[in-house]
Amino acid sequence: MMELPIDIHTVKGFLSDDEGAALYAMALDCAPLGPCLEVGSYCGKSSVYLGVACQKAGGLLYAVDHHRGSEEHQLGEEYHDPELYDEAIAKMDSFRVFRSTMDVAQLNDTVVPIVASSAMAAKYWSTPLSMVFIDGGHSEEAAQTDYRSWVGHIMQGGILAIHDIFPDPAEGGQAPYHIYQQALASGLFEELPMVNTLALLKRL
C-alpha cells in the first residue's frame, strides 16, 4: 500500500494522482534491480512518488533537472510561476523548492539531485538503470535529447515512462508523443497499459 510522508497535493507539479500511483508501483518493482532516474524533477512531485518507492525497496533515485524551468515556465509563458522566479538573477529557480520537498518527504538518503541539463548529466553516464521517467522540456529538441541520452541505459526488463502523451495535437504538445512512438518503433520495448497521459514501456 502506498503511503507518502508528505501531502502530495501541497507540492507544485503537473502529475495526476493516478499517474503518480503508477510511477510508484513501477519504481517499487524496478528499484531492487538497479537505480531509477527521472528527467525533469521541477519541485519534486514525481520525485516523491518515485523516491518513496525506491526508499521502500532499498534503492536509489537520480533526479536530473537544471532547475531553470522548461520553455513553458519562463517569464511571460503559460505555465510561469512567479513564486519560482528569482528576481535577483532574472531566472527561474525550482531547486530550493525541490530541496525543501525532499526534506519534508524525508528522502535525502534516497534521492540524488543532479543539477544539470539532461545531455550534460548523461555525457559520461555508464550505470544501467532499472527505470527512466522522462518529463523534461516539451520542445522537440528537449524531448529528443532526453530520449537519446537515457534510453540506451535502461536494462533488460526495465521501464521507460514518458509523461504528457497527447496523440491529438489539440490536447497538448507532440514532442513526448513523438519519442513514445520512436520507442515503440525501435522494437526494444513492450507497451504496457497507459495511465492517463503516462506511457509505460518495458525493455525487452
pLDDT for 79 beyond 80: no
pTM reported for the whole predicted model? 0.93
Instruction: Verify whether residue 9 is a known catalytic residue.
Output: no
- Domains observed in the chain: 8-175+189-198 (3.40.50.150)
Q: What gap in Å lies between CA 131 and CA 134, rounded to an integer?
A: 10
Render pLDDT for 125-171 as a digit per residue (tens, 0 to 9).
999 999 999 999 889 999 999 999 999 999 999 999 999 999 888 78
What is the pLDDT confidence band of residue 85, given thresholds at 50, 70 and 90? low
Going by pLDDT thresholds of 50, 70 and 90, the confidence category of residue 57 is: very high
Residue 74: pLDDT band (50, 70, 90) is: low
Give which of 87, 89, 10 is closest to 43, Cα–Cα: 10
Residue partners of 198: CB distance under 8 A and separation at least 6: 19, 22, 23, 161, 162, 163, 165
For the ranges 3-12, 15-24, 31-40, 64-73, the lowest mean pLDDT is seen at 64-73
One-letter amino acid of 44: G
Q: What is the mean pLDDT of residues 1-9?
A: 92
Average pLDDT of span 8-29: 96
Q: Please compute the mean of the pLDDT values over residues 31-49 and round it to a whole number.
A: 97
Rounded distance, CA 47 to CA 151, Å? 19
Q: Which of 67, 138, 153, 163 is catalytic?
A: 138
Q: What is the pLDDT of residue 70?
A: 67
Provide mean pLDDT across the span 49-74.
Answer: 88
Backbone angles phi, psi at 135, to 5 degrees: -150, 45
Strands (E), 67-168: 85-86, 91-92, 111-114, 129-134, 154-162
For residue 76, pLDDT over 90 is answered with no
Task: Say whether pLDDT at 61 is over 80.
Answer: yes
Mean per-residue pLDDT, 52-69: 94
Phi-psi domain of 168 (left: phi exceeds 0; alpha: psi -120 through 50; beta: other)? beta
pLDDT given at position 90: 63
pLDDT at 1: 73
State the DSSP H helix or E strand holding residue 187, giving kind and residue range, or none if neither: none
